[in-house]
């Protein structure tokens, strides 16, 4: 069966602070590859990186710009735009570190901070273990990086850390590959001014609080040899 080139949009009821990438056949195909349990690590990294690049490009679209005039090689002026302020990336370790290269490909010499948060498997509550952030982070726009949004606990905790360091909600954009509806709703209730950019919204969480159909443990599949 031949499918249309543009698949249905994000599910109805998606929170207003969430932006999902257009459900094109290209994106669906990339996600099909990385969801496949038989996909080897090399292919998983390659195709995940392609999706990450799409996410970063879309995330940058949501940062404010100001007018900027430059002189072209023809000797004429061009009235364009430039980003309003400085940008940094904040990866939620360790899976979020897989998204750093994609950000650097789009933003040369971008500053990168790191936050380590772990979830208690019994209570499912997130706990902060480590944070290393740029000294001037309060003056920057922050792209928060984490591939999977399940309950939202880790992302919410990471945003709390950024707020404690003086970053306004409106300057945070959270980038992720696969999200659950429950996680998106939790994010919206906690921090409605934080923009969430996701590649795909999955069906739900199961009883173990894992995303279904999901793609397994992203960090293990990206960083661990098979």
What confidence tens digit (pLDDT) does each residue in 178-221 have? 999 999 999 999 999 999 999 999 999 998 889 999 999 999 99
Domain extent listing, the chain:
18-223
What pLDDT sits at residue 209? 87
pTM (predicted TM-score): 0.90
Integer Cα distance of 211 and 218 in angstroms:
11
What pLDDT sits at residue 9? 61
pLDDT tier at 135 (50, 70, 90 boundaries)?
Answer: very high
Closest by CA position to 178, among listed 207, 152, 142, 140: 152
Phi, psi values for residue 145, rounded to 5°: -115, 125
Contact 213, 35 (CB under 8 A): yes
Q: How many CA atoms lie within 13 A of 109 on its CB side?
A: 1
CA torsion sign, 55 to 61 to 64 to 66? positive
On the question of a cis peptide bond just before residue 199, with omega within 30 degrees of 0, the verdict is: no
What CATH class does 18-223 carry? alpha beta
Integer Cα distance of 62 and 58 in angstroms:
7
Catalytic residues: 119, 123, 217, 220
The more confident residue out of 41 and 225 is: 41
Q: What is the mean pLDDT of residues 150-167?
A: 95
Integer Cα distance of 156 and 162 in angstroms:
10
Contact 140, 111 (CB under 8 A): yes
**Strand ranges, E, within the chain:** 18-20, 65-71, 77-83, 86-93, 111-119, 126-132, 140-145, 148-149, 172-179, 195-201, 204-205, 211-212
Contact 57, 18 (CB under 8 A): no
């Amino acid at each position: 069966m031949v499918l249309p080139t543009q698949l249905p949009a994000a599910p109805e009821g998606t929170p207003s602070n969430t932006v999902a990438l257009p459900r094109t056949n290209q994106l669906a195909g990339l996600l099909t590859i990385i969801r496949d349990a038989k996909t080897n690590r090399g292919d998983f990294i390659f195709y995940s990186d392609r999706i990450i690049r799409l996410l970063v490009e879309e995330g940058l679209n949501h940062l404010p710009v100001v007018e900027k005039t430059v002189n072209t090689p023809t000797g004429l002026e061009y009235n364009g735009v430039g980003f309003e302020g400085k940008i940094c990336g904040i990866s939620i370790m360790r899976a979020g570190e897989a998204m750093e290269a994609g950000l650097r490909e789009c933003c040369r010499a971008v500053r990168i901070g790191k936050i380590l948060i772990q979830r208690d498997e019994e209570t499912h509550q997130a706990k902060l273990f480590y944070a290393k952030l740029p000294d001037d982070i309060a003056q920057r726009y922050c792209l928060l990086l984490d591939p999977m949004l399940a309950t939202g606990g880790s992302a919410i905790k990471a945003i709390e850390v950024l707020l404690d360091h003086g970053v306004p909600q409106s300057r945070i954009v959270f980038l992720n590959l696969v999200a659950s509806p429950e996680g998106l709703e939790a994010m919206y209730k906690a921090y409605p001014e934080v923009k969430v950019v996701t590649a795909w919204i999955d069906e739900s969480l199961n009883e173990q609080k894992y995303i279904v159909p999901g793609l397994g443990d992203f960090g293990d599949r990206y960083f661990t040899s098979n």
